[in-house]
Amino acid sequence: MIRPRIHDAQLSQDVLLDYMQRYDYPYLKEHRPIIENAFVVTCEVKDKIAGFFWCYAIENDEATWTAHTLILPDYQKRFFSRRIMNTLFGVAWVSGVDRILVENSQTDLLLRMGGYMTDDGAVLDLPHKWG
């Protein structure tokens, strides 16, 4: 089972950058200068990393976070479970987030979870439980 974990912020950001480089993450150049602003959740299977979720608060709207993922190849098919997503929604909600925004290839998934499209991307209002 993949389990989301929150570790030391600086360490998590550094490890995420390392994995972005290692796995040729296509948006590394855009994320490198702002990674210190990221809230990172490391997803693990026992003691191995399966992937990462990370978010940034929107500059003029701290209650909206943009969400991003990096999923390691061995975990692509089984990463987005209801348990993981509902846990992440809960963590975001208790952190003061009212909306999750996805601007990339994961917009379809957010729409299937109950989100809606805007000019900026797919948005999901919190609190939310993917049923």
Give the three-class secondary structure for 1.
coil
The amino acid present at 24, given as its one-letter code, is D
pTM: 0.92
What's phi and psi for 42, nearest 5 deg?
-95, 130
pLDDT tens string 54-109: 999 998 899 999 999 999 999 988 888 889 999 999 999 999 999 999 987 788 88
| Residues 10-17: contacts with CB under 8 Å, at least 24 apart | 10/36, 12/40, 12/41, 12/42, 13/38, 13/40, 15/42, 15/49, 16/40, 16/42, 16/52, 16/54, 16/70
pLDDT tens string 60-74: 899 999 999 999 999
CATH of 3-125, one of 3.30.1200.10, 3.30.70.890, 3.40.630.30, 3.10.20.30: 3.40.630.30
Domain-by-domain residue ranges, the chain? 3-125
